[in-house]
Amino acid sequence: MRIAYQQITRRLAVRSAVAVMLALTVPAPVLARSSASDIEAKSRAALQELYASNPKAAAVGKRAKGIMIFPHIIKGGLVIAGASGDGVLLKNGKATKFFNISSASVGFQIGAQGFGYALFIMSDQKLAEVSDGTNWDAGSDTGIALIDKGAAASLDTASLNKAIYAFVFSQEGLMAGVSLRGSRIKEIHPK
């Protein structure tokens, strides 16, 4: 009897994980995508909120060649997790391209959360690399410094030596840990 119960519980857990994964990784065109103007407006508002709450982000932003902002990324899962969100690339204050960030991971994890990223791109070379229209594997890029609230306090903005500074902001939810590991960024063309 106990073995049958464990098998049913395992099957239910696997089916739930698969359902969550499918829901989070449905191809972007299938989901209702926000308009370009909506993505840009939300991204600009999120960036201003980040600057207001984190002066170090504002200092890094002044020196950045481009800023890629993902104002709201949703992550959720049960053992298998997925995350996705749309954003914009600002260059010289102008929206130049739109992107989607997505990731998938497997491991001990349960819950859901929302958060945002602002990626401050510090060199023209890296800006060209990440915005060339091909999928960019941000999770394996060793030139990125991930900055959360704790790391921001000790960030020395006088000596910025990384190609990209990724600030995490507006974290909410019940899933611990934010990482770029496994994240892919691809260009999108919202209307």
Quick: pLDDT tens for 3-19. Answer: 655 555 555 455 555 45
Q: Whole-model pTM?
A: 0.78
Domain that holds residue 142: 2-188
CA–CA distance, 111 with 92 (Å, rounded to integer):
38
Q: Domains in the chain: how many in total?
A: 1
Helices (H) and strands (E) in the chain, counts: 5, 6
User: Residue 148: what are its φ and ψ, rounded to 5°?
Assistant: -100, -170
Residue 24 pLDDT > 60, yes or no? no
CA-based torsion, 154, 155, 157, 161: positive or negative: positive
